[in-house]
A and B are shown apart, each in its own frame.
Chain A
Amino acid sequence: MLLSLEDATVRFGGRAVLDTVGLDVAEHEIVCVLGPSGSGKSTLLRAVAGLQPLDAGRVLLDGRDQAGVPAHKRGVGLMFQDHQLFPQRDVGGNVAFGLRMHGASRPQQEQRVRELLDLVGLPGAARRAVAALSGGEQQRVALARALAPRPRLLMLDEPLGQLDRSLRERLVVELRELFGRLGTTVLAVTHDQGEAFALADRVVVMRDGRIAQSGTPLEVWQRPADEFVARFLGFDNVVEGTVAGQAADTPWGKLPVPEDAAQGTHTLLVRPAGVRLVPADEGLRCTVAARTFKGTHVAVQLQPQEAPRLEAACALREAPEVGDEVGVEFDAAETVVLD
C-alpha cells in the first residue's frame, strides 16, 4: 500500500469534518474521492499532504507513519483547483521549483522541465509568463510542476473544475493516459461525478466526513450502496418498496428485481435506462411532465397518477412530448436494491 489512512479524524470546532476515515491507495492506482461540498474531501487531501494535522488516526505513506513529518518532507504532490502558480516566475521557473527545492543541478532542472512540458503538451513554453497563459495551459503547467519532483503520490483537488466542458472532457482522457504511462499513483478529489468516473480506477464516495461507498466506477454505478450515493450519482428514481421473491411492491406497482436481491423492506433504485416506455394502456400509466435534451438522449420526467416522479431515458426519435400519456415498464437488470 502506498497510502493508508487509518481512522483519520479532523475536527473543526465541535464538528468532525473527517470522521474515522479509512482509505487505502495502492501503487499505480488512481483513486477519486467523490462527494458534495462539505463532505470533507479537501480536508482529506490536506491531511495527507501534511497541511492539516489529524486529531486522531494515522496517515501512512509507504508504511511509515507521517505524524510529525512536515509537509515539505512528505514527498507528495498537490495540485490546487486554482493552480496557484507562482506569479513572479515564468513557466519554466514554476515547473522547476520542486526540483530546485530538492537540490537538482541546473542542467538536470532544464532537462526535466523540457521533458515535462512535452509531456503535458506545452513544448517550448518554458519562458512564457504565467499571466499570459489560458486556463487550460495554466492547468497543464500546474500539473507539470506537481509531477516534476517525481512525487510518490500525486493529489489533485478539483483538477478540471475551472475549465470549460469540451476542454475538460479532452483533458480527462489525456490525464488518464498520462498517469497510466507514467505509472503515477493518484488521489483526486472532485464533486463532478462524470470526471471521477472517467479518471478513476476506484471511486470513493464521501458524505459528511465518512466514506459512503468505495469501488470501481462500474461497481458504484451498477450497485450504489445507499440512497445518498444513488442520488449523488444523479439517479432520482428512488423509492421505498417491499421485496418478496422476484418482485418488489412499490408505489410504482410491481418492480421486477434481480435474482439475488435482498428480501424485505428496502429502498430501490431504477436506473433511467431500465424505464421502458410502452403504450399508455400497458404498464404504469404516466403523463410526461418534462423533457430535457441531453445530447445523446432525452431525459423524460414522467408523472404517474399517485406516485413519485420517474425519470426515463429515451432515444431522440422516440421521445414523447410534454403532456403525452405513456405507459411504463421496468427492467430487472437496471433495478438495484439499495442498503
Chain B
Amino acid sequence: MVVPVAFFALFFAWPVAAIVARGLKVDGAWQFGRIADVVAQSDIRHVLWFTTWQALASTALTLLIALPGAYVFARLDFPGKQVLRAVVTVPFVLPTVVVGTAFLALVGRGGLLDELWGVRLDTTVWAILLAHVFFNYAVVVRTVGGLWGQLDPGQEEAARMLGASRWAAWRKVTLPALAPAVAAAALMVFLFTFTSFGVVQILGGPTFATLEVEIYRQTSEIFDLSTAAVLTIVQFVAVGAILAVHARTVRRRETALRLVDASVTARRPRGAREWGLLAGVLATVLVLLVLPLAVLVQRSLDAPGFGYYRALTRDDGGTFLVPPIEAIGNSLQYAVAATAIAVVIGGLAAAALTRRDAGRLVRGFDALLMLPLGVSAVTVGFGFLIALDEPPLDLRSSWILVPLAQALVGVPFVVRTMLPVLRAVDGRLRESAAVLGASPWRVWREVDLPMVRRALLVAAGFAFAVSLGEFGATVFIARPDNPTLPVAVARLLGRPGALNYGQAMALSTILMVVCAVALLVLERLRTDRTGEF
C-alpha cells in the first residue's frame, strides 16, 4: 500500500495542493473569501449545472448503448470478435482534434445523418453526448464485459430451472453479480465526461462551456489563478461527492462469485433474439464507431498511391516534417513506460484493497485513487510545474514526467478493472494456499493473479490506450521535443495545405492501427491455462 500512496501523494496530491494554494494565497494572505465570490456568480453556477447534467446524460446514454455491446462481446462468439473489440477501443486513443473531424462526418454538415434524414447535430448538445458515447463505449464493453465473460452461466441456469423467466433470472442473478463492474464503468465514464474538454469545445462550439473549459481559460489564457483555484475546488467537491455516493450506494458485497474462464462462456448466438441482438450491436458499432474512423482512413487515402503515407516518410531535411517512425517510437516508448507504472502501482493498490483486514482507511483510498480522473488536467499539469521543481524531484524537463502523468490516469483504470474480479475470488482459496505454505505475497501471485490475469490484461490495455491518446495532464506539461503521434497530428493539422492535412489523416490512421494492433497483441497474450507444474 505504501507505494501507491506515495505515488499518489507525490504526483497528484502535492501538485494540486500547490497550485490551488498559489491561487488562493495572494501576497501571503489566504483569500478564502474568493471562493464565495466566484461561486456566487451565476455564470459559474450555470457552467456547473451544464457540466453535471451533460455528464449524467452522457453516462446514461453510454450505458444504455454499450451494455448490450458488453454482453455481445462477453458472451457471444462471432468471427472477427477480437479485432472488433480492439477497434472499439481505438476512439479512446484519438486526439480530440481528430475526433472532431471524424465525428462531424457523422453528425455534421454533409454527414451520414444529414444525407439520410437531413439532420445536423453539430453545435447541439446531442453531438457532445454522442461523441461521449463514441469515446467511452470501450470503457463499458471492456470493464463490464470482462467480468460478464467470467460469470458462471450455471448460476443463471439454476435460477431458470427454479422457475425464473429469462429476464427475471438476469435481473436477480446476473445483474447483482455485475453491479460492481457496471458501477465502476459508470463512474469512470461519468468522471471522463465531467471533465470533458476537447469534445465540448469542438463539437459543441464556444457556446458550451464545462467546468474544465472554464478552468482552462482561467489558468491558461486569462491567468486568473485565484478563480481557477476556486473552480478546481468546486470541481473537486463535486467529484468527491459523486465518489462518496458511489462508495455508499454500491454495496460492495464481498460475494465470492463463481468465476470461470471467459472462453468457456462465449458461444455462437442461438435463436432469433440473440442473433437480433448481435445484429443490433454490430450495427450500432458500425455506425457510431467505425464510420467516423473510416472517414479518417478514407481521407488519408485521397492521394493516389498512398501519397500521404509516402510523404510522411520523406525527410525533406529543410522544412518541418515529423518522421512518423520517430513519432511512433516515442509514443510506444511512453506508452510502455506508462502502462508498466500504472499496472504495478494499480496492481499493488488493488491487492491491498482486497485484503480481508483492509481497514476503513484503506478502503477510503479506493475512492481517492479515482480522483485524478475527476480533477482538472490543467490544474494537475500546472501543479507539476510548481511542485516538482526542486531536486531530487525536479522532473519538469525529464521525459519520465509524461508517462507519470499518463499513469496517473491509468492507475484508476487498473484498479477499477481488477477490483471486482479480485473481490470475487473465494477467500478460502487464498487460505488453502496459505496453509500449504504460501506467504501473503505468494498467495496473491499464485491465487489472485491467475484469476485476474484477464482483468489485468484488460487494465493494461486501457492504460496503454490512455497513454497513446495522451489523456489528462500530459497535454499541459512541458514536453521535450520528442513528438508523439497525437502531438505530431496536432502539429500537422495546425498548418494549412493539402499535404499537411492529408499527412495528419495518414498519421491518425497509423495511430489507430498502432493502438488496435497493440490491443490485439495484449488479447492474444494468454499464458497457458493449465499445467503450471
Contact = CB atoms under 8 A, between A and B. Distances in A.
User: Direct A–B touching in the complex (beta carbon < 8 Å)?
Assistant: yes
Interface of A: 49-51, 70-74, 76-78, 80, 82, 84, 86-90, 92-93, 96-98, 101-102, 106, 109-110, 126-127, 129, 145-146, 149
Contacts of B358: none
Contacts of B426: 84
Given A70-B434, A93-B531, 13 more contacts: A50-B435, A70-B440, A72-B443, A78-B431, A80-B428, A84-B428, A92-B531, A92-B533, A97-B436, A97-B438, A101-B436, A106-B533, A127-B530
A69 to B, nearest CB: 12
Nearest to A84: B432
Contact of A84 (B260, B429, B451): B429
Given A51-B434, A88-B451, A101-B437, A109 B428 contact: no
A93 B435 contact: no
A76 B451 CA distance: 26
B173 to A, nearest CB: 20
Contacts of A80: 428, 431-432
Given A97-B446, A102-B437, A71 B531 contact: no
Given A78-B431, A88-B451, A97-B446, A72 B438 contact: yes
A90 B428 contact: no
Contacts of B431: 49, 51, 71, 78, 80, 84
Given A78-B431, A84-B426, A88-B450, A93 B533 contact: yes
B532 interface: yes
B31 interface: no
Interface string B162-190: 00000000000000000000000000000
Nearest 8 CB-CB pairs, A to B? A101-B437, A98-B436, A88-B450, A71-B434, A78-B435, A84-B432, A90-B530, A72-B434
B437 to A, nearest CB: 3
A90 B439 CA distance: 22
A287 B531 CA distance: 65
B458 to A, nearest CB: 17
21 contacts: A50-B434, A51-B434, A51-B435, A70-B440, A71-B434, A72-B436, A72-B437, A72-B438, A72-B440, A84-B432, A86-B432, A86-B446, A87-B260, A87-B451, A88-B451, A89-B530, A90-B531, A93-B530, A96-B533, A97-B433, A98-B436
A109 B532 CA distance: 12
B524 interface: no
A4 B276 CA distance: 66
B438 A101 contact: yes
A98 B433 CA distance: 8
B428 A149 contact: no
Interface of B: 260-261, 426, 428-429, 431-440, 442-443, 446-447, 450-451, 529-533
A129 B261 CA distance: 13
A127 to B, nearest CB: 7
A72 to B, nearest CB: 5
A51 B435 CA distance: 8
A101 B442 contact: yes
A205 B443 CA distance: 34
Nearest to A127: B531
Contacts of B261: 87
A101 B447 CA distance: 13
Name the residue in B426, B451, B532 with the highest tally of chain A Cβ atoms < 10 Å from its Cβ.
B532
Given A84-B428, A86-B429, A77 B532 contact: no
A45 to B, nearest CB: 10
A177 B11 CA distance: 63
Contacts of B436: 72, 77, 97-98, 101, 145-146, 149
Contacts of B433: 86, 97, 101
A109 B436 CA distance: 14
Name the residue in B433, B436, B529 with the highest tally of chain A Cβ atoms < 10 Å from its Cβ.
B436
A61 to B, nearest CB: 13
B428 A93 contact: no
B435 A89 contact: no
A146 B433 CA distance: 10
Nearest to B433: A97
A88 to B, nearest CB: 4
A234 to B, nearest CB: 30
Contacts of B442: 72, 101
A80 B430 CA distance: 12
A50 B431 CA distance: 10
B462 to A, nearest CB: 23
